[in-house]
Amino acid sequence: MDKHTQQQFAENVLQYLNDSPTAYHAVENAVRMLKDHAFQELKETKKWSLHAGGRYFVVKNHSCIIAFTVGDGDLAQEGFRIIGAHTDSPSLKIKPGACVVTPDGYVKLNVEVYGGAILSTWFDRPLAVAGRVIVEQDGRLTERLIKIDKPVCIIPNLCIHLNRDCNTNCSYNKQTDILPLLSMKVEEAEKGDYLLNLIQSETGIAKADILDYELFLYEYQKGIFMGQNEEFISAPRIDNLCMVYAGLSALTELGNSGNSFKVFAAFDHEEVGSTSAQGARSGILPHILERISKNLGLTDDAYFQALANSTSISADTAHAVHPNYSDKHDPENRPVPGGGPVIKYSAAQRYSTDAFSASYFMEACKRAHVPYQKYVNRNDIVGGSTIGPALSSLTTIPTVDIGTPVLAMHSIREFGAVADNFYTKEAFRAYYEDGGSSV
Ligand code: CO
């Protein structure tokens, strides 16, 4: 695999991360990519007529997307080959009652923390605003995506002179310490309309038409290549949009080729536990798998055969060994950036990997000629979890948890290696393609 190909792929990944400040934008850009590859949109609310060789996708809540292709094989025997990921990232979310005016005349944004953000990394960064608003047009509720790609607010640090312990004892109160400074323009803010005025002037959407919003802050600075040979990426939302992009790329490159039934699912709300109508803990994926089967004429019995013949990959970023905190990791399982996708194990089933699911992923890596690594927590550290356990328990399909190794996971900027993105995409391609050992 030549360096140019890896770099080119990583450039596309970076573009996708930079263009997708929220889950809504990640789905919007996924839709564009799928349509460019002749995938056809299906509505949950409309009748479906699937046919062999078809390429389809379904969007849920504009923050979750499930794409699939109908292969030439017998679905009951082939089963589904599923790759799952998530569209959301830790952030600060704007509350209703968006502006706070202080007695000193500052206008601050009223925000709450979304997911497990490393709050210290959000300080002193120019922040922009993106998300969606709901407007009423001709008696119908319509959604409009918003991206105010300007540095409009900032959370200033308290200077060291007033906070002498800041390098040795740093903690943040989520209510009082993290509200971003937006303006000194008190008059408008006193009317409670500062944010809506900003939206109106930046997007042209009349504030009177806006019924409600879901808006998030994001770092205005874009993701970049770094390192002497540009072998690294420093970017926001690597967790988990790099996995979404790798999955979408594998699926769109292959299309409906071969016998296999390929499914790619990107869920919302992983960072807050996946329990929502569009989260991995919902019925959305089982419903769609059943609907595909019934629509293709499978009987109930054949549908359950298809499930039993299916496999799945849960793709979410993994922890590379930290160069300055190497004792935070297991002594023997020590993934590093650039070493290939990481298979994650947990005896407590915080990751769903077992020997069988790890094996079909390792076989895919071998067929793709890419390296892989393994991760397991130190016994005295609980660690994180991801969508794998939800996917496998809801669908009863074996699932392997994997991901590209990163540092600074859940920082406003995360860090990874160029090579791992391409390796993972290639492994996904090999997994989707016909071949490999059967169940
Ligand atoms: Co993640």
User: Does the pLDDT at position 196 exceed 80?
Assistant: yes
Final residue of a domain: which of 169, 185, 219? 219
335-345 pLDDT per residue, tens: 999 999 999 99
Q: What is the pLDDT of residue 296?
A: 97
- Rounded distance from Cα 395 to ligand 1 centre (Å): 20
- Sign, CA torsion 156/160/166/172: negative
Q: What is the pLDDT of residue 3?
A: 78
248 within some domain: yes
- Rounded distance from Cα 409 to ligand 1 centre (Å): 8
Q: Residues 6 or more apart from 291 whose CB is under 8 A from it?
A: 48
Q: CATH number, domain at 244?
A: 3.40.630.10
> Quick one: 248 and 195 in the same domain?
no
User: Does the pLDDT at position 189 exceed 70?
Assistant: no
> Quick one: 284 and 418 in the same domain?
yes
400-415 pLDDT per residue, tens: 999 999 999 999 999 9
420 within some domain: yes
CA distance 420 to 406: 10
- Rounded distance from Cα 412 to ligand 1 centre (Å): 13
Q: Scan for tokens 């292709």, then name that residue.
A: 69
379 within some domain: yes
> Quick one: 256 and 381 in the same domain?
yes
- Rounded distance from Cα 417 to ligand 1 centre (Å): 17
244-277 pLDDT per residue, tens: 999 999 999 999 889 999 999 999 999 999 999 9
354 within some domain: yes
- Rounded distance from Cα 35 to ligand 1 centre (Å): 26
- Rounded distance from Cα 87 to ligand 1 centre (Å): 9
User: Does the pLDDT at position 6 exceed 70?
Assistant: yes
275 within some domain: yes
Helices (H), 90-213: 186-190, 194-203
Q: How many domains does the chain have?
A: 2
> Quick one: 250 and 384 in the same domain?
yes
Q: What is the pLDDT of residue 137?
A: 84
Kind plus residue range of the DSSP H or E element containing 292: helix 284-295
Q: CATH number, domain at 154?
A: 2.30.250.10
> Quick one: 35 and 59 in the same domain?
yes
> Quick one: 80 and 98 in the same domain?
no
Q: What is the pLDDT of residue 187?
A: 75
Q: Which residues surround ligand 1, an ion (CB under 5 A)?
A: 239-240, 316
Average pLDDT score over the chain: 95
Q: What is the pLDDT of residue 83?
A: 98
- Rounded distance from Cα 163 to ligand 1 centre (Å): 33
Helices (H), 20-150: 23-36, 75-78
Q: What is the pLDDT of residue 122?
A: 98
> Quick one: 283 and 415 in the same domain?
yes
Read off the amino acid at residue 203. T
- Residues linked to residue 219 through DSSP beta bridges, in sequence order: 127
Going by C-alpha positions, the residue among 337, 404, 417, 369 that lies closest to residue 7 is 417
225 within some domain: no
Q: What is the pLDDT of residue 436?
A: 66
Binned at pLDDT 50, 70 and 90, residue 190 comes out as low
Q: What is the pLDDT of residue 133?
A: 97
- Rounded distance from Cα 197 to ligand 1 centre (Å): 34
- Rounded distance from Cα 270 to ligand 1 centre (Å): 7
- Rounded distance from Cα 86 to ligand 1 centre (Å): 7
278-321 pLDDT per residue, tens: 999 999 999 999 999 999 999 999 999 999 999 999 999 999 99
> Quick one: 244 and 307 in the same domain?
yes
> Quick one: 33 and 103 in the same domain?
no
230 within some domain: no
User: Does the pLDDT at position 387 exceed 90?
Assistant: yes
Q: What domain range is 120 assigned to? A: 91-219
Question: What are the C-alpha distances in Å from 293 to residues 45, 205, 255, 287?
Answer: 17, 42, 19, 10
* Tokens matching residue 237: 């939302």
224 within some domain: no
> Quick one: 212 and 256 in the same domain?
no
Q: What is the pLDDT of residue 439?
A: 52
Q: What is the pLDDT of residue 1?
A: 60
> Quick one: 298 and 309 in the same domain?
yes
CA distance 122 to 115: 13
DSSP 183: E
- Rounded distance from Cα 271 to ligand 1 centre (Å): 7
What is the SS3 assignment for 14?
A: helix
> Quick one: 287 and 426 in the same domain?
yes
- Rounded distance from Cα 328 to ligand 1 centre (Å): 19
What's the pTM? 0.97
CA distance 209 to 203: 13
- Rounded distance from Cα 414 to ligand 1 centre (Å): 11
* Tokens matching residue 245: 């992009």
